[in-house]
Amino acid sequence: MTNKNTVDRSADNMRILAMAMVEKAKSGHPGGAMGGIDFINVLYSEFLQYDPNDLEWINRDRFFLDPGHMSPMLYAVLCMSGSISIDEIQSFRQWGSVTAGHPEVDASIGIENTSGPLGQGHTMAVGAAIAEKFLCERFGSWMHHKIYTFISDGGVQEEISQGAGRIAGHLGLNNLIMFYDSNDIQLSTETKDVTSENTAQKYEAWGWKTITIDGNNQDEIRRALRMANEETEKPFLIIGKTIMGKGLVDENGASFEGKTSTHGQPISKAGASFEKSIENLGGNPENPFMIFDDVKAFWNDVKNTKAKQAQAQKQIQKQWEKENPELAEKCKAFFSGTIPHIDFEDIAQQENIASRVASKNVLAVLANTVENMIVSSADLSNSDNTDGFLKQTTRISKNNFCGQFLEAGVAELTMASIMNGMVLHGGVQAACGTFFVFSEYMKPALRLSALMELPVKYIWSHDAFRVGEDGPTHQPVEQEAQIRLMEHVYNHSGKRSFVALRPADAQETSVCWKIAMETKDRPVGLILSRQIIKDLPAKEGSTRYNDALQAYKGAYIVNTVSKTPDIVLVANGSEVSTIYEGALLLEKEHGLSVQVVSAPSEGLFFDQDAEYQQSVLPFDKPILGFTAGLSLNMRNLVGPHGKVWGMNHFGYSAPFEVLDEKFGYTPQNVVKQALEYLKEYKNNPCGKK
């Protein structure tokens, strides 16, 4: 061990920390981390540009980890570089520690992204790389920085890597450098048992440059990183052949490297010797959480150098700011997340249009107002109507990041994950669209938007069975319930983790977009109709826009109710106009007083005070819900004695007007259901058997 240089000693020291963290926590993933550490060691000490005293410096290089299970590797290097204390290292995976089982985003300590669901981490890096190019295009070369990412066998195998690899290659993201920890081992098998692809050739076919190296050799890593940094055309993949559990030995001192068993448990449980392995790596078994003196000195030097380099970079930035005060202001505004003032009320909306068309009208205004907004679509821009935005700008393409529209191709999950990466990078606003039924292809990334509290905007058109002739594969049924579930999950800041908005008509769509643009701390989804919707009437002395502003409260009374209502009807989206027409019939033909409620967001509604909730949806009155999704959508809103007309089966291929008749989404059926329900309610108001 003595003849090892300090760089290798540093790697060995981190290997000990990684293994010790898992040993102490009695859970975690030591093997992969121990193999990947040589790369991380050289990257953080020699290549990654960061300011140890200002980790959120906007111009830092970013490092996106993909295999979150290798968190001990990241924590070990962040401990060396000074943003995570040795105490936090010793509290790995414990309540309240920043060293969670899988890393959770916190740029202030150098964790750029939450990772764990394999494949998403490196895809977020692609998003960050796009954001970097987008910003450099606007602010110039002082802003150039690199996006590094680290992927493992699992991430390479995940389908999302196809989308990430294709897009990065297609856009020529030469600012993206990915290290592939190719250790031939995964969770339950060796990689040879599940794949025989030539990964290098695969990435080369997508337009990447690749190099294969010994991933545990610092000289080879250094050389590869230099080449990657000099690349001018393509994203760069360094395939590092690494050794799982590097440095592990058993009780007899024999090698215990390259074993699947060290993937996900303490190495002692796998059969290696904790003490002997520490000794083998030059450490002291009595004190596994020690940082060697020479390694400490080495990292002190690194930190000083990094700080100096960052200062020099910041001087260049300052000079630029001085010479370009307007651009400097703009740059500041981009990174602060503020958006210019938009008069949503003034956005022209034609009468009786589909809410996707209303959204298109808003997007056209956003394209001309919000200069740092990037909108994307998964090959449906002319259907989900994100083309309203596209028509005012141009597409992002290789060597041209002037435009604000990203064609993601048919890759919903990739697209959503790229949006997350863009927002994590900072400086841009991100929105993406597709058909609502395909929201389920995005769910894993949407969940991470929610967990990471990222204000990504999701635009989903074709919101219900009224997609019509395309049939049941394209007709959402359970999707709204799935998405709304996220409104029930609270994030770590104690807020509902997602806002799902299904606007009732054009003006309510403008308002919902206003809500979406103003929301900075969580993702928002807009669920939009394909077919036209009859506008709801404005109340006397008001405008429809003004009335629709109440969408901020999640649900509100649409009509004027002169006396205590005999029944309350509640819906969202296009069903609101249906219940409204039904209400008119109930009033005219049956002399009933009907309160009509539009409820674009259940989550926002249940965040209102009890008095407001009671005034809109009085649970001591008969409440009937109408939804083109599962009855479940309205279950909470109608209260314990309410009833719901929902769609609890797959749809059928037919013109939507026919389906409306067949499935009972007509004003006449609203009347029928209301009368039947009132009869039941009268006989048994509390729903007792």
Ligand X SMILES: Cc1ncc(C[n+]2csc(CCOP(=O)(O)OP(=O)(O)O)c2C)c(N)n1
Q: Which residues bind ligand X (CB under 6 A)?
A: 29, 31-32, 67, 69, 116-118, 152-154, 158, 183, 185-187, 244, 263
Nearest distance in Å: CB 50, Mg ion: 27
CB 81 within 8 A of CB 13: no
Number of residues that bind Mg ion (CB under 5 A): 5
Q: What count of residues does the chain have?
A: 689
Distance CA 546, CA 511 (A): 9
Taking a C-beta distance cutoff of 8 angstroms, is the pair 619, 597 a contact? no
List, in sequence order, every residue forming a beta bridge with 626; answer none if it has no partner. 571, 645
Q: Site for Mg ion (CB under 5 A): which residue of 149, 183, 420, 578?
A: 183
Give whichever of 215 and 582 is closer to ligand X, judged by the CB atom: 215
Smallest separation (angstroms) from Mg ion to the CB of 182: 7
117 interacts with, out of ligand X, Mg ion, none, CB within 5 to 8 A per kind: ligand X
The residue number with the shortest CB distance to ligand X is 32
Residue (99 or 377) nearer to ligand X, CB: 99
Choose between 270 and 623: whose C-beta lies nearer to ligand X. 270
Nearer to Mg ion, 90 or 195 (CB): 195
**Binding partner of residue 272 among ligand X, Mg ion, none, CB cut-off 5 to 8 Å per kind:** none
Q: What angle do CA 662, 668, 672 make, to 5 degrees?
A: 95
Residues 6+ apart with CB under 8 A from 100: 71, 93
Please report how close the Cβ of residue 265 comes to ligand X at its closest, in angstroms. Answer: 12
- The torsion defined by the Cα of 198, 200, 205 and 210, in degrees rounded to 10, comes to -170
Q: Least separation, in Å, of the C-beta of 184 and ligand X?
A: 8
End-to-end CA, the chain: 79
Exposure b/e, 295-327, CB count within 10 A at least 16 = b = beebbeebbeebeeebeebbeebeebbeeeeee
Angle 638-675-468 from CA coordinates, rounded to 5°: 70
Going by the DSSP 8-state scheme, the letter that residue 101 receives in this structure is S
**Partner in contact with 31, chosen from ligand X, Mg ion, none, beta carbon below 5 to 8 Å by kind:** ligand X
Among 61, 106, 153, 505, contact with Mg ion (rule: CB under 5 A): 153
Nearer to ligand X, 143 or 238 (CB): 238
DSSP lists the bridge partners of residue 237 as: 178, 210
Q: Which does 484 bind (CB under 5 to 8 A by kind): ligand X, Mg ion, none?
A: none
E strand intervals along 224-263:
236-241
CB of 249 to Mg ion, least distance (A): 20
| Min CB(263)–Mg ion separation in Å | 8
Q: Which helix (H) or strand (E) holds 148?
A: strand 147-152
Q: Is 238 helix (H, G, I), strand (E, B) or coil?
A: strand
Compute the half-sphere exposure of residue 655: CA atoms within 13 Å on the CB side of its CA: 2
The whole-angstrom separation of Cα 236 and Cα 24 is 37
Set 412, 480, 575, 602: catalytic member? 412
Report which of 529, 551, 573 is spatially closest to residue 436, judged by C-alpha positions.
529
Residue 70 or residue 459: which is nearer to ligand X going by CB? 70
DSSP state of 252: T
Taking the complex as a whole, the smallest distance from the CB of residue 69 to Mg ion amounts, in Å, to: 10
Listed ranges 146-154, 295-303, 409-417, 435-443: which one lies at the site for Mg ion (CB under 5 A): 146-154
Residue 207 or 264 having the CB closest to Mg ion:
264
Number of other CB atoms surrounding residue 450 within 10 Å: 21
Residue 581 in tokens: 């027409």
* Separation between Cα atoms, residue 370 and residue 13, nearest integer Å: 48
Answer with the entry of ligand X, Mg ion, none that 621 interacts with (C-beta below 5 to 8 A by kind). none
Q: Which does 187 bind (CB under 5 to 8 A by kind): Mg ion, ligand X, none?
A: ligand X
Q: At what angle do helices 30-42 and 218-230 cross, to 10 degrees?
A: 60
Type of residue numbered 68 = G
Is there a catalytic annotation at residue 412? yes
Q: Which of the listed partners (ligand X, Mg ion, none) does 116 bind, with a CB threshold of 5 to 8 Å by partner kind?
A: ligand X
| Residue with Cβ nearer Mg ion (178 or 596) | 178
Q: Which does 104 bind (CB under 5 to 8 A by kind): ligand X, Mg ion, none?
A: none
Which partner from the list Mg ion, ligand X, none does 239 bind, CB cut-off 5 to 8 Å by kind? none
Enter the tokens of residue 57. Answer: 């410096």
Q: Read off φ and ψ for residue 354, nearest 5 degrees.
A: -65, 150
To Mg ion, the closest distance from the beta carbon of 8 in angstroms equals 22
Q: 244 vs 604, which CB is nearer to ligand X?
A: 244
Residue 212 phi, psi (nearest 5): -110, 130
Q: How far is the CB of 80 from ligand X (least distance, A)?
A: 21
Q: 479, 441 in Cβ contact below 8 A? A: no
Catalytic residues: 412
The contact set with Mg ion (CB under 5 A) reads 152-153, 183, 185-186
